[in-house]
């Protein structure tokens, strides 16, 4: 398990800490998790947070849309490869 720098999901908190890398982050620090303090304030179980557990319905839909898009792009790319002689 890798550890990466996380940034609190609360934009006015800005707390950063080292935590497990659950999303295989390559560039920006992930911000899907609330820090322990904010989670407590919000009544969220800090340890039960997942990359999608804090997302609003709108964000979840957007995420699904992006996943579907990248899937489509991958399929198209594979199809193209298969057509080569």
* Nearest-approach distance from CB 48 to Zn ion, in angstroms: 16
* Nearest-approach distance from CB 9 to Zn ion, in angstroms: 7
- Residue that the structure tokens 């804090």 belong to: 54
Is position 8 an interface residue for Zn ion (rule: CB under 5 A)? yes
Distance CA 85, CA 31 (A): 45
Distance CA 63, CA 36 (A): 25
By beta-carbon proximity to Zn ion, the closer residue of 50 and 74 is 50
Among 15, 31, 49, 54, binds Zn ion (CB under 5 A): 15
Element (H, E) at 24: none
Among 4, 25, 38, 44, binds Zn ion (CB under 5 A): 38
Is position 31 an interface residue for Zn ion (rule: CB under 5 A)? no
How many CA atoms within 13 Å lie on the side-chain side of 36?
4
Distance CA 46, CA 61 (A): 23
Q: Which residues bind Zn ion (CB under 5 A)?
A: 8, 10, 13, 15, 35, 38
């Amino acid at each position: 398990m890798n550890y990466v720098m996380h940034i609190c999901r609360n934009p006015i908190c800005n707390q950063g800490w080292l935590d497990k890398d659950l999303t295989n982050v390559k560039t920006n620090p992930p911000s899907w998790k609330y820090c322990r303090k904010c989670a407590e304030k919000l009544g969220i179980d800090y340890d039960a947070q997942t990359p999608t557990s804090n997302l609003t319905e709108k964000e979840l839909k957007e995420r699904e849309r992006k996943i579907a898009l990248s899937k489509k792009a991958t399929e198209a790319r594979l199809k193209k490869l298969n057509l080569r002689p």
